Amino acid sequence: MAKPLVAFLTGAGISTDSGIPDYRGPQGLWTRNPDYEKLVTYDYYMADADIRRRSWQMRREVSELRPQPNAAHKAIVTLAESGKAAVRVVTQNVDGLHQAAGLDGRKVLELHGTTRFVVCTSCGARGPTNDVLARIDAGEADPPCTECGGILKTATVMFGEALDAGVLNGAAAIAKACTVMFAVGTSLQVYPAAGLAALAADAGARLVIVNATPTPYDDIADQVVREPIGEALPKLLRDLPAA
């Protein structure tokens, strides 16, 4: 008998216990300073060297926090290793903490890319973000590509850029096939990612929303949990019935 497929749609809220601030929460980056959104908007980033300088400084500051996986990330790994279910994660996050917690990278779809690598917007050259941060520490405010001199950015999907069609199609397939979807730490306001919750529910999955604030999909959810994610998710997953 095939194992049930348990899917997780995760957003910034799952990583706040790791010291990474979310965006739209009460203390979120954009709540406190709406100007921050420009730092991750493609057109602003490409047109303004000062925006790029500030964006790199933001990446540097987050890197210095040395965020580590928290109890919620680890609970998903524990479920994956338990044999109860097949596990897939579709994440809006770019921090790589699901993989750092020990989840097989092949089970993680990163809708918005990753900050662990950089890419040249001109020639497509790719390399580790830490190498660029070292150049910033050495005095380069806006390091150019070492291959062609083009503008570098993290390998994330900025506002104004299209999501990778292959990744999005894979996420949709997971949403349609899962038995239960946990939407964790996401406001479910950013599309097309937010639409995956409805896609799962329409396909017959049980939808569980674990988030600090209300979402547009609370009304169609089978369960809505407002408790702290690091406490609530491990308990929810421990209570899942065996296959």
Regarding whether 209 and 191 lie in a shared domain, the answer is yes
Q: Are residues 241 and 181 in the same domain?
A: yes
Based on the structure, what is the number of domains in the chain? 2
Q: For the segment 168-214, what is each residue's pLDDT rounded down to a tens digit?
A: 999 999 999 999 999 999 999 988 889 999 999 999 999 999 999 99
| 73 among known catalytic residues | no
Q: For residue 240, what pLDDT is reported? A: 86
Both tokens assigned to 42: 């493609």
Q: Is 72 inside any structural domain?
A: no
What is the DSSP-derived secondary structure letter of residue 124? -
Do 90 and 16 have their domain in common? Answer: yes
Find the length of the chain.
243
Shared domain check, 177 and 82: yes
Same domain, 173 and 211: yes
* 90 phi and psi angles, rounded to 5 deg: -110, 115
- For residue 228, is it within any domain? yes
Together in a domain, 96 and 170: yes
Active-site residue (options: 59, 73, 112, 116): 112
Provide the CATH number for the domain around residue 103. 3.40.50.1220
> What residue numbers bound the domain in which 56 lies?
29-64+117-156
Give this prediction's pTM.
0.88
